[in-house]
Each structure stands twice: as structure tokens, then as C-alpha cells.
Amino acid sequence: MTERDAPILFLDSGVGGLSVLAPTRALLRHANVVYVADNAGYPYGTKTEGEIAARVPALLGRLSERYRPRLIVIACNTASTIALGAVRAALDVPVVGTVPAIKPAAEASVSRVIGVLGTKATVRQPYVDDLAARFAADCTVLRHGSADLVALAEAKLAGMAPDWAAYRAVMAGLLDQPGGERIDVVVNACTHFPLVADELAAVSPGHMRFVDGGAGIARRVAYLTTGQDWPAGGGTGRAVFTRADDAAFALAPALALARFGLTRIEGL
């Protein structure tokens, strides 16, 4: 593989990282892309910190050897808040993480009450405490961790009908907290959640808006790869599943080929 052919590699436990891949491909259409869904480890958000800290660096080491990426994007908030430092220490390749968009949420909030929707593993991390202290010190920051919303996003891309009661229950986890009625901005602090932003908005008060970090991550990737050589013509894309079972390959054509330009599907 030549340097110009080296891909950008994205990792998530499932389809959530597609919400980061999409804006990145919009900026860097000439880049080769490898999107890795670690469905053998799905979901990350219900695992312990120790499990994530062990799994993600080891997996990315294996993937780096196989695909020789020019840059890695950990397109998962849970994995980033727990394992980003260890991955950067272990690999000799730039690594971009995904962190909750608390800063832009605080900048946009008028009521000074913001919500954070993430996995249970993400919302309990000290990293989130630090972001809130640094960028939203004058705000009330309410959090809710939901594994159900991850599953709802996966179900949507698999073509299943929305479970509106489940979406309402997720939002109730934020809105029913003391002060929840004053939330005007919600951070989608899991890369799965922007994929169901329309559904969340449909069961939320009309004044509420949702923000995520996808566009900012795309700009960061573009900045870090400025001036690099790229393949002639448009870039290629492949989706890699760590468990190449029937369910993965049934999902692949709908979510990858038609929508995100991942024209090759393979198992690890």
C-alpha cells in the first residue's frame, strides 16, 4: 500500500460511528475509508471501564497492523472517554477521539440548563465532569444514560419501525429530573444518537435542540490530513465487522452501501 492509499479508519461498536463518518466523507471525498463495527464487542456502553480499556487498544492495534491507516477516529464516546489515552500511547498513528459536545451546548443555551444523553458508561466518566466544569460552569447539566437508545438507532438502520414509547421513555429520563423542564439544548453524547435525532425531536418539547460533535470531528480530521497525498479519483470505502455473522451481513447493504459509500463488506 502506498502512502496515498492509506485509509482513515473509524471504529465503533456498531453503526453509531456512521454519524461521524458521514460529515468526514463530505469533507474528504477523496479519502479511502475503513469503517469497523466491533459487533463482537457490542454494546460498549454497558461494559465496565476495565473491559473497554482492555478491548479497544488491543483491537485497534490489530486493525492498524492490517489496514495501515494514516489516521484513526474512535467514533464512539464511550471508548474515547475511557481508552483514548491508552490508544494514543500504544500506536504510532494520529488518533482522534469523540467527546461530548458540552461546550457548544453551553454556548447555545439560553436557559442555562442543558441535557446530556449518552451511554451509562459515558455519562458517569470524570471526563464529562471536567468538560462540564470547564465549559458549562454556569449551567445546570443533567445527564441520562441509555442503552435502549443505542439499540433503537441500530434498529432504525436495520429498517425497523420506530418504537415511540421507547423514545419517550428515554427523553423522560432527562425531562423528569428536577429542572428538566428548563432544558433547551441536549448533547447527543453517543455517536449512535444523531442517527435518531429526528425521532428524539419528535417526542421532545418544540423549543429543544440537539447538538453533537460529528461536524467538529470531521473538521479536525480534515485539518490533521491537510497537504497529504490522496488516491486519484474518489476514495473507496469498506465496512469491517468483527463478528461476520448473518445479522451483520444482512444489515450491511442497507446501512453501508446505499447511504455511506462503503462498497466492500468483510469480516475481521
Q: What is the C-alpha separation between 19 and 76, in angstroms, rounded?
A: 10
- All CATH 3.40.50.1860 domain ranges of the chain, comma separated, are 3-98+215-267, 102-212
64 within 8 A of 6, measured Cβ to Cβ: no
Cell numbers at residue 78, please? 464511550
Active site residue 139: no
Q: Please tell me which residue in 190, 211, 215, 239 is annotated as part of the active site.
A: 190
How do residues 94-150 score in pLDDT, each as one tens digit?
999 998 999 999 999 999 999 999 988 888 888 899 999 999 999 999 999 998 998
Percent of the chain with pLDDT over 90: 71
What is the DSSP secondary-structure string of 97-139? -----HHHHHHH-SSSEEEEEE-HHHHT-HHHHHHHHHH-TTS
**Would you state the CATH architecture of domain 3-98+215-267?**
3-Layer(aba) Sandwich (3.40)
- Residue 155: the pLDDT is 86
Q: Strands 8-12, 140-145: parallel, antiparallel or unpaired by DSSP?
A: unpaired
Active site residue 190: yes
Q: Please tell me which residue in 21, 31, 76, 265 is annotated as part of the active site.
A: 76
Q: Provide the CATH number for the domain formed by 102-212 in this structure.
A: 3.40.50.1860
217 within 8 A of 101, measured Cβ to Cβ: no
- Residue 50: the pLDDT is 94
Q: What is the value of pTM for the model shown?
A: 0.89
Tallying the residues shown for the chain, one arrives at 268
Q: What is the C-alpha separation between 9 and 6, in angstroms, rounded?
A: 9
Q: What is the C-alpha separation between 261 and 255, in angstroms, rounded?
A: 9
171 within 8 A of 204, measured Cβ to Cβ: yes
- Residue 14: the pLDDT is 86
